[in-house]
Amino acid sequence: MNPALAGIAAIVVGGAVVAVSARDPRVTVLAMLVVLLGAPLLVVPTPGPLPILARVAAALLAGRLLVIGLRGDLVGIGTAIGWPAEAFVAAAAAVAGFASHGLGAAALGPAEAQAAGFALAAVAAAPLITGRDVLRLGIGSMLLVQAAILVRQGLDAPAGDGEQLVIALLTIGLGGAVAVISAAARAAGALTVADDGGAGRLAGGLRRADAHRPTDRELARDAASGSR
Partner 1 sequence: MTVLPFLVVGAASGTLSLLVRSRRGWSTGIALLGLAWMAIVASGIGSTATIDIGGARLAGSDWLRLFAILGSVVGLLLVLVDMAAVHEPDAPGVIVLGLASAVLALAAADPAVAVIAATAGGLAGVLVAAPLGAASRAAFVGSRELRALAVAGTLAILATAWLARPLDNLVAAPAVFGIAYLAFTVAVAIRFGAIPFHLWAARVADAAPGVALPLLMAWGPAAFAAVALVWIDQSVAPLLVPLTTERAVLATIGALSIVLGLVAALIQDDLEHVVGYTIVADAGFVVLGLAVLDPAIWEPIRTWLLLFVVARSALAAWVVAVHGAFGTRRLAALAGWARRAPALAVALVVIGAAAVGWPGLVAWEARASIASMALPGPLATLTVVAPLVGIVIYGRILLVGLGREGAAVRGGRGERPGWPVPRPSRPMVGLSRVERAFERAGHLGSAVLDVIWTLPAATRSNRMPLASAAVLVLAGLAGAVAGGGLGVPAAARAAPIVEPGPQASPSAAASLNIPGGSGGAAPGSVEP
The pair phi, psi for residue 133, each rounded to 5°, is -85, 115
CA-based nearest residue to 94, from 30, 11, 32: 11
Shortest Å, Cβ 214 to partner 1: 8
Q: What span, in angstroms and rounded, lies between the C-alpha atoms of 18 and 84?
A: 10
**Binding flags for partner 1, 25-54, as an x/- string (CB under 8 A):** --------------------------x---
Choose which of 80, 99, 163, 222 interacts with partner 1 (CB under 8 A). 163
Shortest Å, Cβ 123 to partner 1: 14
- Taking only Cα atoms into account, the Rg of the chain, rounded to an integer number of angstroms, comes to 20
Choose which of 49, 72, 104, 204 interacts with partner 1 (CB under 8 A). 104
Q: Does the footprint of partner 1 cover residue 148 (CB under 8 A)?
A: yes
The answer for residues whose C-beta is within 8 angstroms of residue 124's C-beta and 6 or more apart is 16, 20, 139, 140, 141, 143, 144, 147
Q: Contact at 8 Å (CB) between 109 and 153?
A: yes
Interacting residue ranges for partner 1, rule: CB under 8 A: 51, 103-108, 121, 128, 131, 134, 137-138, 140-142, 144-145, 147-149, 151-152, 155-157, 159-167, 169-170, 173-174, 176-178, 180-185, 187-190, 193-198, 210-213, 215-216, 218, 221
